[in-house]
Amino acid sequence: MTRRTLALLCLLISGLLHAQDPATITAQARNYLNTLTSPEFHGRGYVNNGQGIAAEWIAAQFGRLGLKPVKQDFYQPFAFNVNSFPDSIGVTVDGKRLVPGADFLVDPASGRSEGSFALVHLAPSDLFNPERKAMTLGVLSGKAACLHWPSTTNKDSLQRFHELERELMHYGPVVKPVSGKLTWSVAQESLPFPLVEISSAFLTDSSATIDMHVRNRMLVRNPARNVLGMVKGRSKDWVIVSAHYDHLGRMGPDALFPGANDNASGVAMLLSLAEWFTKNSPKHNILFVAFAGEEAGLIGSEWCALDRPIDLGRVKLMVNLDILGTGDDGITVVNSTAQQAQFDRMVQMNTQRGLLKEVKPRGPACNSDHCPFVKRGIPAIFIYTMGGVAHYHDVLDKADTLPLTEFADLHALLREFIATIK
């Protein structure tokens, strides 16, 4: 071997190793995260078609990485109704203008209300008794109901409060002080009037008037797409690796929900694993699925499990990834109790390699996209990271504060675990 050939060989090997080193994997994930959470993706929701932009970007990544479509292209289209808030939202309490997203949120099922309203302060006793309730509703005409619920963790009480809120949203605008963090969501329906959740620092028993400008836009049969790409294996069986790419989007132009941890982090892992398996041919076919509509109620995964783009009877395991941005305390594996052998294998692998602090078991829970598959008897687990920052469904779930602490270690564990599924 000449010195020149040797040098070339060294360069080639170092190049290969470089492509696999933990720092490169994390840096690549950081790039994915920055793109998915950028303002141009609009929080991957329903204002300015953020979710559609994200779908196209992911399909382009699949193409670049060399994944193959299962059908004619990478998309699996469907549609669902979803409420959205494209217009500017303004809330002012007793002359103080509040900051959308930070000081207040509108309930995702909110309707429209514009104007100045006197606040009528209500306690459960004003609404629980039917006669009192009829009187209360009479008083509310042209005013806004301000609900003061006692703090409780009792599920029945919380359910009752929730039902009363929904009912009042048919009569007029409703507001509610919230102590602790504001957490947003997505709704498939809209009620006639808004419910505004206001941080308790800005809404008290003595607050007198509220100015609100809340306008929703109900999107009927809004188009959405799961993005599917495959890597061919040597067997006829399948492994599914999935992560939802949708998030909450925008609440008006001023409040952006970037969804870095939930779930740009999972999409970053999905893309990183896809790249790995295009270079390291797997035993079983691998279907990579980026789901839409998760936050609106697991709609994309439900559609995928019904529409069956592949023979789901041949799925060895589905590994769903949702919230992978930390890992200081390891990972939790949901539904591991139903997949004990697979779980034991993962734990053993992790111990041998000395990767994560803990691989923790958890029973079944219908809390992410694995659920519609589990319900149909397809073996599936759902993995999320534990510890570190805990921003969730709020404007603070940003890329620049998401550490990706254990991303590379989890990548190492997952690629080995997936490659050795029997």
Point out which residues bind Zn ion (CB under 5 A): 262-263, 322
**C-alpha torsion 183→380→241→347, nearest 10:** 90
CB of 265 to Zn ion, least distance (A): 9
Q: What is the DSSP letter of 3?
A: H
* Closest CB to Zn ion among residues 36, 169: 36
Give the CA distances from residue 201 to residues 93, 97, 179, 208, 347, in Å, rounded to whole numbers and listed in that order: 11, 13, 8, 14, 46
Residue nearer to Zn ion on the CB measure, 316 or 370: 370
Contacts of 51 (CB under 8 A, 6+ apart): 44, 45, 224, 245, 246, 249, 292
CB of 129 to Zn ion, least distance (A): 40
d(CA 279, CA 24): 15
C-beta closer to Zn ion: residue 126 or 369: 369
Please report how close the Cβ of residue 243 comes to Zn ion at its closest, in angstroms.
Answer: 9
Q: Which CB, 103 or 246, lies closer to Zn ion?
A: 246
Alpha-carbon separation of residue 98 from 19, 197, 198, 261, 273 (angstroms): 48, 11, 9, 26, 43
Containing 305, the helix (H) or strand (E) segment is: helix 299-307
Cross-strand pairs, 361? 333
Task: Give the pairing type, strands 195-199 and 75-84.
Answer: unpaired
Q: How far is the CB of 251 from Zn ion (least distance, A)?
A: 18
3-class DSSP assignment, residue 115:
strand
Q: Which is nearer to Zn ion, 93 or 186 (CB)?
A: 186
Beta carbon of residue 381, minimum distance to Zn ion (angstroms, whole number): 15
Min dist. Cβ of residue 363 to Zn ion (A):
19
How far is Cα of residue 35 from the mean position of the Cα atoms in its chain? 16
Minimum distance of Zn ion from residue 247's CB (angstroms): 8
DSSP reduced 3-state for 195:
strand
E strands, 237-370, are 238-244, 249-251, 255-257, 285-291, 315-321, 331-334, 359-362
Evaluate the omega torsion of the peptide bond into residue 263 and state whether it is cis, within 30 degrees of 0: yes
**CB of 127 or CB of 414, closer to Zn ion:** 414
Q: How far is CA 2 from the centre of its chain?
A: 54
**Smallest separation, CB 204 to Zn ion (Å):** 34
Output DSSP code: residue 261: I
Q: Which is nearer to Zn ion, 122 or 319 (CB)?
A: 319
Give the DSSP H or E segment for 122: strand 113-122
Query: Considering all CA atoms of the chain, what is the largest pairwise distance in Å, rounded to the nearest integer?
Result: 97
Nearer to Zn ion, 103 or 369 (CB): 369
**Identity (one letter) of the amino acid at 7?**
A
Total residues found in the chain within this entry: 422
CB-nearer residue toward Zn ion: 263 or 342: 263
Q: Which is nearer to Zn ion, 69 or 297 (CB)?
A: 297
CB-facing half-sphere around the CA of 36: CA atoms within 13 A: 31
Compare residues 165 and 294 and give the one whose CB is closer to Zn ion. 294
Please state the closest distance from residue 384 (CB atom) to Zn ion, in A: 8
Provide the minimum distance between the beta carbon of 9 and Zn ion in the complex, in angstroms, as a whole number.
45
